[in-house]
Amino acid sequence: MIDLVLLGDVLAGTARLGTPIAFAALGGVIAERGGLYNIGLEGQILAGALGAAAGSFATGSAVIGLGCGIICGLISGLLLGYMSIRLRINQLVGGFALNLLLAGLTAFLSRQIFGAQAGGARVNGFSQIYFPFLSDLPVVGPSLFSQDPLFYLLIGLAIAAWFWLMKSHKGLDLRAVGENPKAADLAGVPVFRMQYLAIAASGALAALAGVHLVLSQVYVFAEGMSAGKGFIALAAIILGRWSPIGAICAALFFGFCDAVQFKLQFTSPEIPYQLFLILPYLASLIALVVLGAKASAPASVGLPYDREHR
């Protein structure tokens, strides 16, 4: 007999814990469709988290915190874009360098903003939305109709991104840049402009992951609170076959694994909890080994485009 209450709790946890990974994965899809690796997702999550915490802390408004987090993501995305597009440095190295920079910078700035006890200042955030009747439904009520506003924003952005990438002329241009920037350039597509827009959007979406952590989950900023979610998002991109909807589904799968491990910690206290903590990361490795080998990335992703040598 299935415990409907337990199932509802796990699915609600899946939505809540999978949302940050899904935001970051969606951002990674946009960047890689434009031919750019965004390995800096982990750092951009931290940037968005600190921006959201600082904005909400200073003004008392979660909406302003949301805006500040997005701005931090845009700036970090443009910085990575400048290194990748203008300077044409190795995109993997640039992404890891950005992660290290933002990890240290957010730790330093958080202490300046919140004092010596970084992360101790609680900020105003978003609460769950209650839908009359729908929120009270068994199983689906807690998981789909009792979430915070950013969860519904994620759904809207995922659908919009899919239509934009797959059904619009600009989306076709971006995919052309990711597959063959030389041919796209010859066809009149502004390659560099499209890439800058893609990497900026990618940074903003990754920052929304951090915004969700601060304003919808814990209501404080903590150093290193991204906890590998940016790297799990990279796995979700591959498992989702570089599709916005596919990446979201893969991210929710990892969120499900995370929700299960939390439940197991309470239901099986005799087992060391550290064994449960590795479940999401182990699931990502297994999924990549089993399913990731057949995935095919955009042909020109990670390859800097030099117009002078076309």
Give the tens place of pLDDT for each residue, 43-83.
999 999 999 999 999 999 999 999 999 999 999 999 999 99
Rounded CA-CA distance 229/289 in Å is: 19
What angle do helix axes 229-239 and 244-267 make, rounded to 10 degrees?
130
Q: How far apart are CA 123 and CA 114, in angstroms?
A: 11
Whether 307 contacts 185, CB under 8 Å: yes
Q: Is 42 exposed, middle or buried (0-12, 13-18, 19+ CB in 10 A)?
A: buried
Query: Between the CA of residue 145 and those of 10, 130, 141, what are the distances in Å?
Result: 14, 7, 5
Q: What is the pLDDT of residues 239-283, one digit of tens each?
A: 999 999 999 999 999 999 899 888 888 777 777 777 778 887 888
Record the pTM.
Answer: 0.94
C-alpha distances in angstroms, 294 versus 83, 163, 302? 30, 25, 19
H-type alpha helices, the chain:
4-33, 41-59, 62-81, 91-114, 140-144, 149-167, 169-179, 181-186, 191-212, 229-239, 244-267, 273-277, 279-291
Dihedral pair phi/psi, residue 99, rounded to 5°: -60, -45
Report residue 145: phi and psi, to 5°: -120, 20
Q: Give the model's pLDDT for residue 292.
A: 65
- Tell me if 240 sits within 8 A of 68, measured CB to CB: no
Token readout for 252 is: 């929710």
Domain ranges across the chain: 4-305
The band of 1, judged by pLDDT with boundaries at 50, 70 and 90, is very low
Which candidate, 152, 140, 149, 161, places its Cα nearest to that of 245? Answer: 161
Segment 190-202, tens digit of pLDDT? 999 999 999 999 9
- pLDDT score of 310 more than 60: no
Report the CATH architecture of 4-305. Orthogonal Bundle (1.10)
- Measure the CA–CA gap between 93 and 97, rounded to whole angstroms: 6
Tokens in use for 211? 């915004």
pLDDT category at 179 given cuts 50, 70, 90 is very high
CB 249 within 8 A of CB 22: no
